[in-house]
Structure 1
Amino acid sequence: MNWIILIIAGLFEVAFPFCLGKAKVPTGNDMYFWYAGFLITLGISMGLLVKATQTLPIGTAYAVWTGIGAVGTVLIGILVFKEPATFLRLLFISTLIGSIIGLKAVS
């Protein structure tokens, strides 16, 4: 169950940089909406990480959490913010995914 909580925490970690990226574009109330989303998703992500680390090893949980956030943020950047999807960038993201799976397998 705590692995599921950790994965959800990782997805919320993807959400808060997404909110930051969206907050750069608008002005006025829309900007404040995205900053509020940033704070809310950040708090949820951290809270779920704390919950998951009550039974999971901290080193593995933190690495998986940051890995999900890193991979998800890069994918959001490519798909939503039109960042370049170069071969090397995708290669290193693939190795990061393999490392996350490896950490889960040995835990």
Structure 2
Amino acid sequence: MAWILLLLAGLAEIVFALSLKYNEGFTKLYPSLVTAASGGASFYLLMLSLKTLPVGTAYAIWTGMGAAGVAVLGVFFLKESTDLWRLLSIALVVVGVIGLKLSHVE
């Protein structure tokens, strides 16, 4: 269950980070509400997952999911760079997240 909570926290973190692009310094109401709700949900779900998971593993996976997810979605929806080094770097983050999950013994 903790891994599902962490996955949901990571997805909420992606929504949070992307919504920062659209709230224009919290001057737009609906994007600002999305930012607040997804940020709160992300932290809350992370906190719940930490009841079972080690903080180092969970935090690294949470931030990695957020970073890689936002970078990938930025390429597809925001027309951000697809430079080889950028794509390789994103891949390394994904490999690191997978490695942390696989190395966790319950």
TM-score by length of 2: 0.92
SS of equivalent to 2:99: helix
| 2:102 alignment counterpart | 105
Q: How far, CA to CA, are the matches of 2:62 and 2:71 in structure 1?
A: 14
Question: 1:53 Cα deviation (Å)?
Answer: 0.4
Q: How far, CA to CA, are the matches of 1:84 and 1:22 in structure 2?
A: 19
Q: How far, CA to CA, are the matches of 1:92 and 1:98 in structure 2?
A: 10
Q: How far, CA to CA, are the matches of 1:95 and 1:20 in structure 2?
A: 25
Q: How far, CA to CA, are the matches of 1:82 and 1:23 in structure 2?
A: 19
| 1:82 alignment counterpart | 79
| 1:11 alignment counterpart | 11
RMSD: 1.1
Aligned AA (1:96): V
1:73 aligns with 2:63: no
Q: Deviation string for 1:44-90 (max 9, x for gaps)?
A: 00000000000000000000000000001101211111111111100
**Gapped regions of structure 2 (runs ≥ 5):** none
How many aligned positions are there? Answer: 102
TM-score by length of 1: 0.91
Q: Percent identity?
A: 38
Aligned AA (2:69): G
SS of equivalent to 1:62: helix
Superposed structure 1 runs of 4+ greater than 2 Å apart:
none
1:35 aligns with 2:38: no
